[in-house]
Structure 1
Amino acid sequence: MNSSTSPIIFAVQLQLQLQQLLKTSIAFFFFFYFYLIFLYPSIHPSMAVLNRLFNLRSLSSPSSSSFLRGFSALTSETDLRPPPSLSNAGLLLPRDPKDRNVQWVFLGCPGVGKGTYASRLSHLLGVPHIATGDLVREELSTSGPLSLQLAEIVNQGKLVSDEIIISILSKRLESGGAKGESGFILDGFPRTIRQAEILEGVTEIDLVINLKLREDVLVEKCLGRRICSQCGGNFNVANISIKGVNGRPGIYMAPLLPPAHCASKLITRSDDTEAVVKERLRVYNDMCQSVEEFYRSRGKLLEFDLPGGIPESWPKLLHALNLEDHDDKQSAAA
């Protein structure tokens, strides 16, 4: 192991290599097995015998067992159906957050509001909100060689490479573990299948919330984003009001205006130009559909269409998560 490589990254890379070797070995076995069946049909054993032969359930690492669960599902026709994805009608989650694990991921296009809702849930549930976008911006504020590389990538509207994101995120998780943090809400990660596989090798993700919003609204939202150069607060000056047409519902989002002491200190992010925003949306749509399917096939994906701004969307999101009662208790205590 290179001395500069994080132990987490090294362990996960090794695990992925072993997993790939396992997949290749199994693929070779089945090729050889079916070839023999083709030549000698009388040797066909039952799948139950194969299951006992491989003793698939004896492997216990998270990513390996996940892969092998999918493999062992081939032993039964009834198991060929993928697990149903979660829906907006409500999740089968315990109502008391103390009785559930909170290791959640927020997915969604740039500007959809992942940071806003992840931050609110972080405060509600008492777990850290880890935004890879913020981690990247923190790195950009330094003067190291990685900062220059990141600046070029971000200003062109491209996605940051897996290696860079994993390195930055692993440092954050390591420091959080040292502080005794329990649980987390990830925002902006994973964005690729490889990142999702690495994350699954590191920890068990309980729920993935996929926020969805119309593209025309997303562009307006991104162009209206502002940051206070002094306190770092995030605001939005866009006043979005789109009427419903041909059965398509309208949508209204009030601006999120800054307090008076921040109003004169607002700045625009360098990547919030129309050309860059549209390029980011295109890149996201091209790359992240496979990540959504990765979690959908595991029955962990909650698809949530934002009906409007925070006043309209927040109560409905809490309802989908079975958290509306908890929010009422928190409000009463405050």
Structure 2
Amino acid sequence: MRLIFLGPPGAGKGTQAVRLVEKYGIPQLSTGDMLRAAVAAATPVGLKAKAVMDAGGLVSDDIVIGIVADRIEEDDARKGFILDGFPRTVAQAEALDRMLAEKGLKLDLVLELVVDQSALVDRIIKRAEEAKAQGLPVRKDDDPEVFKQRLAAYNRDTAVVAPYYKARGQLKAIDGMQPIDAVTADIAKALSGLDGDAQKS
């Protein structure tokens, strides 16, 4: 089962991905983790990425796709994988489609957690206030200003990826404002038709 999780920061992608990892025994792949692992392992594409990062540059789409391509060849990803936080742009989505096609693979489903963004901001502000009230440091991700910047970046760059997959009939929108277990149940329903294929692949 090959899945992509889309949705703005704070939508609950990480929480739901962990549940799918446990249920299906497939890895959750984050580009940041894969990038660090490739650099640490000094793979050819990892060395390329390291050179770019050492020079203070941004790693190109080609390098990121190369890292994803290497990672999904590993044993734990043979039954499938969950891509979290990637692709971030339509160009990356197109490159991912090409790379998977070259391997004779395709995505099974793209899940988008749809949320009320103003409610997300309120939730983050509340979490920050609670942390301060308890005398705890506010996590960087829970800093309302940092969060608003991440949300703006998502809306500018990544929100366009959902329509790309919708046009291909691969997108399933899930109401991410429900309680966590209700979101999990809706995701299970969306994936129920794929279970048989997942066992075979």
Q: Normalization by structure 1: what TM-score? A: 0.44
Identity of matched residues, % = 38
Aligned to 2:17: 118
- CA–CA separation in structure 1 for the residues paired with 2:39 and 2:142: 16
1:139 and 1:280, CA in 2 relative to 1: closer, same or farther beyond 3 A? farther
Q: Is it true that 1:187 corresponds to 2:84 in the alignment?
A: yes
Shift of the alpha carbon at 1:161? Answer: 5.0
Q: Specify the SS of the correspondent of 2:113.
A: strand
Structure 2 unpaired stretches of 5+ = 42-49, 101-105, 131-135, 197-201
Shift of the alpha carbon at 1:168? Answer: 3.7
Of residues 75, 78, 94, the one that matches 1:197 is: 94
Aligned to 1:173: 72
Structure showing greater Rg: 1
Aligned to 2:162: 292
1:180 and 1:309, CA in 2 relative to 1: closer, same or farther beyond 3 A? closer
Q: Specify the SS of the correspondent of 2:78.
A: coil
- CA–CA separation in structure 1 for the residues paired with 2:125 and 2:56: 24
Q: Specify the SS of the correspondent of 1:182.
A: coil
Q: Is it true that 1:107 corresponds to 2:6 in the alignment?
A: yes
Residue correspondence of structure 1 range 7-22 to structure 2 within 5 A: none
Are the counterparts in 1 of residues 4 and 86 from structure 2 also a CA contact under 8 Å?
yes
Higher relative contact order (CA 8 A, sep 6+): 2
Aligned to 2:103: none
Aligned to 2:34: 135
Q: Specify the SS of the correspondent of 1:122.
A: helix
Shift of the alpha carbon at 1:123? Answer: 1.6
Shift of the alpha carbon at 1:317? Answer: 2.6
Please tell me the root mean square deviation across aligned C-alpha atoms, in Å. Answer: 3.7
- CA–CA separation in structure 1 for the residues paired with 2:129 and 2:114: 19
Q: Is it true that 1:275 corresponds to 2:174 in the alignment?
A: no
1:311 and 1:238, CA in 2 relative to 1: closer, same or farther beyond 3 A? farther
Residue correspondence of structure 1 range 36-51 to structure 2 within 5 A: none
User: How many residues are treated as equivalent by the alignment?
Assistant: 176
Superposed CA offset, 1:280-316 (max 9, x none): 1112112223211111111110011123331332223
Structure 1 unpaired stretches of 5+ = 1-101, 154-159, 225-236, 241-265, 327-334
Larger fraction in helix: 2
1:290 and 1:271, CA in 2 relative to 1: closer, same or farther beyond 3 A? same
Are the counterparts in 1 of residues 128 and 144 from structure 2 also a CA contact under 8 Å?
no
- CA–CA separation in structure 2 for the residues paired with 1:122 and 1:268: 29
Aligned to 2:46: none
Letter in 2 for 1:114: K
Are the counterparts in 2 of residues 118 and 185 from structure 1 also a CA contact under 8 Å?
yes
Q: Normalization by structure 2: what TM-score? A: 0.69
Are the counterparts in 1 of residues 128 and 143 from structure 2 also a CA contact under 8 Å?
no
